[in-house]
Structure 1
Amino acid sequence: MTQSRQSQVSLSDTPYYHCISRCVRRAYLCGEDKYTEKSFEHRRQWVVERMHYLASLFNIDICAYAIMSNHYHLVLHIDEALNESLSHEEICYRWCQLYSKPILVERWQSEQIVSEAENKAALAIIEGWRGRLVDISWFMRCLNEFIARKANKEDECSGRFWEGRFKSQALLDEDALLTCMAYVDLNPVRAKMTVSVETSEYTSAYERLLPCKKVGVAQQQEKPLEYTFTKKPLFGFVGDESQHNSENNIPGIPFSLLDYIELVDWSGRIIREDKRGAISNQRPRLLSMLGLDDDTWLSLASNFGKDYHGAVGSLEALATYASNTGKRWIASKNQLRLH
């Protein structure tokens, strides 16, 4: 039975969610269609630019992403604290970059409201927008609808472009977050589209490595979309300065970026070789921190999306999540057995 999105999101349990959207057509979202011999590679840049644009408006951060041939993955962080701190004026500005402004709100902004009832009605509309700016359903709607319209126009057709609703997965603890991010960044390597993380374009790992290298040729050749905006960076890693950041209340992914890149690169090279003899003796430090053996980690990095559904975390976290979302229980197979 299909569950409502509201019953799958519990910000009191976790601000992290893994989202997947898949193209419904035989023709690819991106890549090359073997039947028509058409290339849709340029659409990857559509998704990346729209995704970053929306992140700059929504109070939602992008932790990880991978744009594949017929689907894409996103790991999102919802910044509820920042959302609550924004003024009504800022909420209006952000939302009205995406949708038209009601006359009542225009009057409120220009101080032409003549009654308390009108003022309350205008503020109620704005508060509704505030809720939407931390709603992953609205974020995904604004992303998928834009790409579908643009692709349909290019293909000179109409109709459904995406395979129904997007899928979402609550990541209930740090271990689930780290494993899911690595699984997402390793998508091109598992699909044998590339040989290593550093050559995996259109992934978050590749984007995080960009400051360390020259801008890729593919990105140099892409034409910008119709809008301009200040690009919001990917959600940062704060493990290197965890004590400093905790004292200053700076949010971030609680691991070191260098440790994460080392782990993903190490995993990718082994998965690409597709044999146990390829395992290097130089184990990434994060594996020791998590208490994982090589085989367990490689299984998680390869099958996370297939083996876990709905919510992922420890038994305690799953029980709390089930209680807060009105469920009796969460399948025990969703327990991430790391230790």
Structure 2
Amino acid sequence: MPRKPRIETPGYYHIINRGVEQRVVFKEPEDYEYFIELMCLNAKNYNVNIHNYCLMSNHYHLLIETRNENLSKFMRQLNMNYAIYFNKKYHRSGHLWQGRFKSWYITDEAYLYTLILYIEQNPLKAKIIKGVEDYPYSSAHYFLLPQQYNECLKESWTTLQYQGDTEAIKAFLYSTVDTEQLQELKKASTLLEAPHIDKKPDAEKLKKMLSIAKDTKERNRLILQAYQEGYSQHMIAKVLDLAQPTVNGIIKRGKKNSTITIT
């Protein structure tokens, strides 16, 4: 059975790739650093924007944005160049990667924000660090440590959105990940035949929706409703001038509270 062609539409993508048979593909700091160097170089050559990344010993996660229909070309070049380097360095031959890389087209902000947290918190989940900023082979390391700088992250969503406000970035990156939502969104995105590029959350519509709240209880109900309609926690927090962790807490409590109904 022929394999399905990839969606090459310009936009945001979540990329995952693993070592063949789940073997280690990054053995030394030099390996991680070389992959990041290759990633940045090829991103520049293929007009790809790097938003987030995390390299683990046997796999990696990328959140990238393509501006041309060249996702496969970019990834092929990156994976091939690194495989040549790795095989030569460690005197091995054969495939380094476990088949084709996996990719998901990101269709809305809810997926985007959940995905950023999921990627950056990978080392925390693996219990190899105590703080996301402590892991040197992820984008969070550069976002949260002012003395660090990575040229290929200068136009990332986090960089442009927070403009160097490390406290706000930290509050965002430490938000709770809704893993159920992540899996649902990932599954849904693989079924799309074409992206809804023009379907973007309307901040003015959200502001009008939330403005009818007469008290805190009503506001919290509307926050949950807005979130379930696809508005991101970030946008809700911005419209209401609340901290994002506060909005996250309201949503979590709302989901558990059976007395809050969605109209």
TM-score bracket for the superposition, by shorter chain length: 0.5 to 0.7
Q: Among 15, 29, 35, which residue is 1:19 paired with?
A: 15
State the alpha-carbon separation in 2 of the partners of residues 324 and 170 from structure 1.
8
Q: Among 171, 178, 181, which residue is 1:299 paired with?
A: 178
Q: Among 28, 31, 36, which residue is 1:43 paired with?
A: 31
Describe the SS at the equivalent of 2:186. Answer: coil
State the alpha-carbon separation in 2 of the partners of residues 195 and 232 from structure 1.
23
State the alpha-carbon separation in 1 of the partners of residues 126 and 181 from structure 2.
12
Match for 1:9: what amino acid?
E
Describe the SS at the equivalent of 1:322. Answer: coil
Consecutive aligned runs of 4 or more in structure 1 exceeding 6 Å deviation: none
Deviation of 1:57 (Å):
1.4
> Are the equivalent residues in 1 in contact too, given 2:53–2:63 (CA < 8 A)?
yes
State the alpha-carbon separation in 2 of the partners of residues 151 and 72 from structure 1.
15
> Partner of 1:73 in structure 2?
61
Q: Among 126, 129, 140, which residue is 1:205 paired with?
A: 140
> Are the equivalent residues in 1 in contact too, given 2:144–2:169 (CA < 8 A)?
no
Deviation of 1:55 (Å):
1.4
- 1:194-233 aligned at under 5 Å gives the runs 194-210=129-145, 212-213=146-147, 233=154
Q: Deviations over 1:99-134 (max 9, x none)?
A: xxxxxxxxxxxxxxxxxxxxxxxxxxxxxxxxxxx4
Deviation of 1:322 (Å):
3.0
Deviation of 1:64 (Å):
0.5
Deviation of 1:310 (Å):
5.4
Instruction: Indicate the structure whose relative CO is greater, using CA pairs within 8 Å and at least 6 residues apart.
Output: 1
The normalised TM-score by structure 2 is 0.64
> Are the equivalent residues in 2 in contact too, given 1:168–1:310 (CA < 8 A)?
no
The normalised TM-score by structure 1 is 0.51
Q: Among 72, 82, 95, which residue is 1:147 paired with?
A: 82
Match for 1:199: what amino acid?
D
> Are the equivalent residues in 2 in contact too, given 1:239–1:257 (CA < 8 A)?
no
Describe the SS at the equivalent of 1:213. Answer: coil
Match for 2:66: what amino acid?
I
Describe the SS at the equivalent of 2:84. Answer: helix
Describe the SS at the equivalent of 1:75. Answer: strand
State the alpha-carbon separation in 2 of the partners of residues 197 and 324 from structure 1.
31
Deviation of 1:54 (Å):
1.0
1:54 lines up with 2:42 in the alignment: yes
Match for 2:172: what amino acid?
L
> Are the equivalent residues in 2 in contact too, given 1:20–1:73 (CA < 8 A)?
yes
> Partner of 1:168 in structure 2?
103
State the alpha-carbon separation in 2 of the partners of residues 136 and 42 from structure 1.
26
Q: Deviations over 1:215-251 (max 9, x none)?
A: 8xxx9xxxxxxxxxx756352444468xxxxxxxxxx
1:3 lines up with 2:4 in the alignment: yes
Q: CA RMSD in A?
A: 3.1
Q: Deviations over 1:170-211 (max 9, x none)?
A: 11012211111111111111111111112121111112223x
> Are the equivalent residues in 1 in contact too, given 2:117–2:175 (CA < 8 A)?
no
**Residues 28 and 41 of structure 1, relative CA distance in 2, 3 Å threshold:** farther
Percent identity of equivalent pairs: 29
Q: Deviations over 1:33-57 (max 9, x none)?
A: xxxxxx4342111111111111121
State the alpha-carbon separation in 1 of the partners of residues 43 and 194 from structure 2.
30
- 1:102-251 aligned at under 5 Å gives the runs 134-210=69-145, 212-213=146-147, 233-237=154-158, 238-239=160-161
Deviation of 1:259 (Å):
3.6
- 5+ long unaligned stretches in structure 1: 31-38, 81-133, 220-229, 242-255, 268-297, 326-336
> Partner of 1:322 in structure 2?
193
**Residues 266 and 176 of structure 1, relative CA distance in 2, 3 Å threshold:** closer
State the alpha-carbon separation in 1 of the partners of residues 95 and 113 from structure 2.
33
**Residues 213 and 266 of structure 1, relative CA distance in 2, 3 Å threshold:** farther
Q: Deviations over 1:275-308 (max 9, x none)?
A: xxxxxxxxxxxxxxxxxxxxxxx333x883x555
> Are the equivalent residues in 1 in contact too, given 2:20–2:95 (CA < 8 A)?
yes
